Structure 1
Amino acid sequence: MKREELLQKWLDHALTPQELEAFKQLDDYEELTKLDNALQHFKAPETNVEAAYNTVQFNRKDTSKPTSWLKPLLRIAAILVIGFGAYMYTTLPNTITVNTLVANKTSLELPDTSAVTLNAVSSLSFDKDLWSEKREVNLDGEAYFKVAKGAAFRVITDDGIVTVLGTQFNVKQRDNLFEVFCYEGSVKVSYNKENIVLTPGERYLILDGKQIRNEKEMLKEPSWIRDESSFKSLPLREVIQELERQYDVTVDASKVDTSQIFTGSFTHTNIDLALKSITLPSQLKYQKKQNSIILKRD
């Protein structure tokens, strides 16, 4: 695959494991990742890519012996500034969309001063022009909300709708999992024509289409806000998927039973400690290989 195609797929977060390995072999891979880290939270307005690149080229100091790697690196920088800015915060005619990358989370304030913290690999959108008429957001992923008091506030997901007036709650919608936890006030969850009201400490959990009963837990906020993922009686596959989101790794769990139940937590700041927190209670071993993890039976 050509360099330009690898770069474009990297920007679109669409590299296959094989393509990712090829991308890592590029001469300027380290420079690309440094630019990636520096631009994680960059926000930029709509810009013409070619014009941005031409501007970078025009302003670059000319030398009698141009450095061979500078020209492609400048082009990449121009594309990254535009690409990441658009990826993190994009505005359509009436809709604002905020996305988070792997191993990242972000906070934002809605027009009514309601606060939202978005977990890794999540997306939230809302219509800014209609906000005064209806407080409504669309969520794909996981988010923690502190809603300002006012008219009804709705969080719409592919699995269900959460409605509140003013409260603090967490919504998680991932593949076959839909979870709502109420921290303050009350929350109404609408799922498959059923309405459930949650009070502080109560959780509503749908896993693989089935409702899972949970004991009441008096918590102040979700653990992922403090860079830690916690699980209570959930299949190991859910833990593995969250590890992949928080560390930008690929986990090969083909040799283990991912349906086994896991209760525990792992940190977002140390991958070795996180892997030990997962594998030791599950009686598993792990092997690190570049950007992938292989899980094995103990």
Structure 2
Amino acid sequence: MKKENHLAHFLDGNLSETEIAEMKKSPDFDLYEKIKLFTEALETPLDEKPEMLHTIVSAEKIAPKVISFRQTMIWVSAAASIVLLLGVGYWLTFAQSAQFRTGYAQFQNITLPDGSLVTLNSDASLNFRKFSWEHNRNLNLEGEAWFRVAKGEKFSVYTPTGIVSVLGTQFNVKSRDGKMEVACFEGKVSVDQLGKNVILTKGESLVIANGEWIESQVSEAEPNWMNRKISFNSASLHEMTAELQRVYNIRIDSKLHIEQTFTGVLPADNLETALQIVESAFKVKRVETEKGKYTLKMQ
């Protein structure tokens, strides 16, 4: 028997004891045993298990779902419309929206599409829609800014406290912590809040706080902060320290509750003098805990 037939019969278990004894003399017998061991571990072919083959062949066939070309195009068109709407929404909201922000001890000059000029004071934000600016001169402001408005359509500044509207003028708006201050330096300014309206002309100012409307006069040609001065009108200790933090980029901690207010001007370029004025006005003293950080206590 040829060697190949010996191996085949050996794997099938069809060799006699004499033939097996003869194969053991071969130097490859260990290899033959390993082949047989792994062959026996293999699964039985399907043709040797007819019942398994019959089960597979007779199993219910599931027809593939066919989607018509028309239905496919409807879904594709709907998806494209959604993507287009999202793209247009992004373009209108972000690509066509101008946004500006200043940090502590920072200022920013902005030229609007119509040539109007805006200067943002420290820690302030401004935004408007560029795509509709020609017929919709509306801005949103948080903080303080000085406006020099070019003549044209109605120009409105929306703040959390109220709305300031003009046609062409120069004015300053400050809106912080529920308090709004408006000063008119040229032309006329309309101030609206909750249905109430006041018209300011050149040299007039208005403070809205705690439901009160307080009008006063201004003699300067532009806001004091444009000339490195900090102007306060009936300001509390908290308002003053908050403004000093914005202008000088420092930190002032105070748990003092003092009813007294301050009206006047502090320097925006001399921290020592500004702090001395605060100490004198409110009868407090400062303690510098570390560089640029202060705590206020009563004198």
TM-score bucket of the superposed structures, by smaller chain: 0.5 to 0.7
Tell me the amino acid that sits aligned with residue 141 of structure 1.
G
* Residue 201 (structure 1) aligns with: 203
Aligned 8 A contact 1:114 1:148 in 2: yes
Residue 292 of structure 1 corresponds to which residue in structure 2?
293
CA-CA distance at 1:236 after TM superposition: 1.9
SS of structure 1 residue aligned to 2:132 = coil
Contact 1:237/1:259, CA 8 A, preserved across alignment = no
- What TM-score comes out, normalization by structure 2 length? 0.66
1:233 corresponds to 2:234? yes
Contact 1:105–1:118 (Cα < 8 Å) also in 2: yes
Contact 2:254 2:296 in 1 (8 A): yes
The answer as to whether partners of 1:200 and 1:218 remain within 8 angstroms in 2 is: no
Q: Counterpart in 2 of 1:84?
A: none
Q: TM-score, normalised by structure 1?
A: 0.66
**SS state of the match for residue 279, structure 1?**
helix
Within 2, Cα distance between the matches of 1:245 and 1:191? 27
**Which runs of structure 2 are paired with 1:250-261 in the superposition (5 Å)?**
250-254=251-255, 256-261=256-261
The one-letter amino acid of 1:113's match is: G
What pairs up with 1:95-244 in 2 under 5 angstroms?
A: 95-207=97-209, 209-244=210-245
Deviation at 1:235, TM superposition (A): 1.7
Larger Rg over CA atoms: 2
CA distance in 2 between counterparts of 1:217 and 1:128 reads 33
Counterpart secondary structure, 1:214: strand
1:268 is aligned to 268
CA distance in 2, matches of 1:93, 1:213: 40
4+ runs deviating over 6 angstroms: none
User: Is the deviation greater in 154-163 or in 210-219?
Assistant: 210-219
Q: Point out the structure with the larger helix share.
A: 2
What is the CA-CA distance between 1:93 and the residue it aligns to?
A: 1.6
CA contact (8 A) 1:188 1:196 kept: yes
**Percent identity of the aligned residues?**
39
Aligned partners of 2:183 and 2:218 also within 8 Å: no
Q: Does the Cα contact within 8 Å between 1:265 and 1:277 map onto a contact in 2?
A: no
Aligned-pair Cα RMSD in Å:
1.5
Give me the whole-angstrom Cα distance separating, in 1, the residues matched to 2:265 and 2:220.
15
The residue identity in structure 2 corresponding to 1:211 is E
Structure 1 position 272, deviation (Å): 1.3
- Name the CA distance, whole Å, in 2 between partners of 1:157 and 1:233: 20
The whole-number CA distance in structure 2 between the counterparts of 1:164 and 1:214 is 18
**Counterpart amino acid of residue 161 in structure 1:** I
Q: Which runs of 5+ in 2 are unaligned?
A: 1-92
Distance 1:215 1:163 in 2: 19
Note if contact 1:284-1:297 (Cα within 8 Å) is conserved in structure 2. yes
Aligned length: 206
| Amino acid of the structure 2 residue aligned with 1:294 | T
CA distance in 1, matches of 2:148, 2:121: 14
Q: In 1, distance between residues paired with 2:160 and 2:178? A: 11
Q: Partner amino acid for 1:144?
A: W
Q: Give how far 1:205 is off.
A: 1.1
State the Cα distance separating 1:238 from its structure 2 match: 1.2
Q: 1 CA distance for matches of 2:123 and 2:191?
A: 23
> How big is the shift at 1:147?
0.2
Deviations 1:55-91 (A, max 9, x none): xxxxxxxxxxxxxxxxxxxxxxxxxxxxxxxxxxxx9
Distance in 1 (CA, whole Å) between partners of 2:213 and 2:259 is 15
* Residues 235 and 262 in structure 1, CA contact (< 8 A), matched pair in contact too: yes
> 1:222: Cα distance to partner?
1.0
Aligned partner of residue 244 in structure 2, secondary structure: helix
